[in-house]
Chains A and B, each alone.
Chain A
Amino acid sequence: MSRSTDGDEPTVDDTDGGASGATSPDPTLDAPDAALAAAAADDEDAPYDLSGLLVATGTTRSLLEALERAGLLVPHHVDDEGIPRYSAADVAAVQAGLTLLDAGLPLGELLDLARRTDAAIGEIADHAVEAFLRFVRDPVRGTASSDEEATARLVTAYEEMLPATERLVAHHLRRRLLTRAASRVSEELAADDDGLGPPP
Chain B
Amino acid sequence: MLDLVPDVDDRLTWVRDDEGLVAWGTAVRIEPGRGPERFVRAEAELRRLARTAEVEDVVRQAGSGLIGVGSFTFDADADGSVLVVPRVVIGRRDGRTWRTDITPDDADPVAEPASWPPRPRRQDRPRYAGSSLPDLHWLDAVATAIERIHDGALEKLVLARDHALWSREPFDALDLARRLTARFPRCHTFVVEGLVGATPELLLAREGRSVRSRVLAGTTGRSDDEVEDAALGADLLASEKDLAEHRYAAESVREVLATRCADLAGAPGPRLLRLDNVQHLATTFEGHLDDPTTSSLEVVAALHPTAAVGGTPRGAALELIRELEGMDRGRYAAPVGWTDASGDGEWGIALRCAELSGARARLFAGVGVVDGSLPEAELEETRLKLLAMQAALGASPRDG
Residues of A near any B CB (own CB < 8 A): 60-63, 65-66, 69-70, 101, 104, 106-109, 111-112, 184, 187, 192, 196-200
Q: Are B140 and A60 in contact (CB under 8 A)?
A: yes
Interface residue ranges of B143-174 to A (CB < 8 Å): 143, 166-169
Q: Are B169 and A112 in contact (CB under 8 A)?
A: no
Number of cross-chain contacts by CB at 8 Å: 66
Q: How far is the CB of A91 from chain B (nearest CB, A)?
A: 18
Given contacts A101-B136, A196-B122, A200-B360, contact A107 B168 (CB under 8 A): no
Other A-B pairs beyond A63-B140, A109-B383, A197-B168, 10, CB < 8 Å: A63-B136, A101-B134, A101-B135, A101-B136, A107-B379, A111-B379, A196-B168, A196-B169, A200-B168, A200-B358
Top 3 closest pairs, chain A to chain B, by CB: A107-B135, A62-B143, A108-B383
Tell whether B359 is near chain A: CB-to-CB under 8 Å.
yes
Q: Are A66 and B124 in contact (CB under 8 A)?
A: no
By beta carbon, the residue of chain A nearest B161 is: A108
Interface size on B (CB < 8 Å)? 27
Q: Are B140 and A200 in contact (CB under 8 A)?
A: no
Q: Are A108 and B143 in contact (CB under 8 A)?
A: no
- The contact sample of 7 A-B pairs, CB cut-off 8 A, is A61-B143, A63-B139, A69-B374, A107-B135, A107-B138, A107-B379, A200-B166
Q: Are B134 and A198 in contact (CB under 8 A)?
A: no
Tell whether B382 is near chain A: CB-to-CB under 8 Å.
yes
Tell whether B228 is near chain A: CB-to-CB under 8 Å.
no
The interface residues of chain B lying within 8 Å CB-to-CB of A60 are 136, 139-140
The interface residues of chain A lying within 8 Å CB-to-CB of B400 are 184, 187
Q: How far is the CB of B360 from chain A (nearest CB, A)?
A: 6
Q: Are B166 and A108 in contact (CB under 8 A)?
A: no
By beta carbon, the residue of chain B nearest A67 is: B376
The interface residues of chain A lying within 8 Å CB-to-CB of B134 are 101, 106-107
Tell whether B225 is near chain A: CB-to-CB under 8 Å.
no
Given contacts A187-B400, A197-B169, contact A112 B136 (CB under 8 A): no
Out of B122, B124, B139, B143, which one reaches A107, CB within 8 Å?
A: B139
Tell whether B26 is near chain A: CB-to-CB under 8 Å.
no
By beta carbon, the residue of chain B nearest A61 is: B143
